[in-house]
Amino acid sequence: MQKVIKDKDGKIINIGDWDCCSDTVTNEEGEDVVIETNPMPEGAYEDTVEIVKGWDGGLYESNDPRRIKT
């Protein structure tokens, strides 16, 4: 089982932890403020699923029919 991030519709958009990058910027008052530069999309959530390697070398959820060549 592996951690994934799914969008609000339940589609996998990332395998593993989300890379929530941040940066420090200086605001108009001269204060350093940390901002997120890669937030998760609205409605996205963490889940755990089985990931398998498909016929084409891609990674798929184990119940995804695209994992098998037809």
> What's the number of CA atoms in the CB half-sphere (13 Å) around residue 42?
0
Tell me the C-alpha distance between 6 and 43, whole Å: 9
Residue closest to 52 by CA, chosen among 67, 65, 35, 36: 67
pTM of the model: 0.74
Residue closest to 55 by CA, chosen among 39, 70, 36: 70
**pLDDT tens-digit readout, 28-65:** 999 999 988 899 999 999 999 999 999 999 999 999 98
Q: Where are the domains of the chain?
A: 2-67
Helical residues (DSSP H) of 1-70, grouped into ranges: none
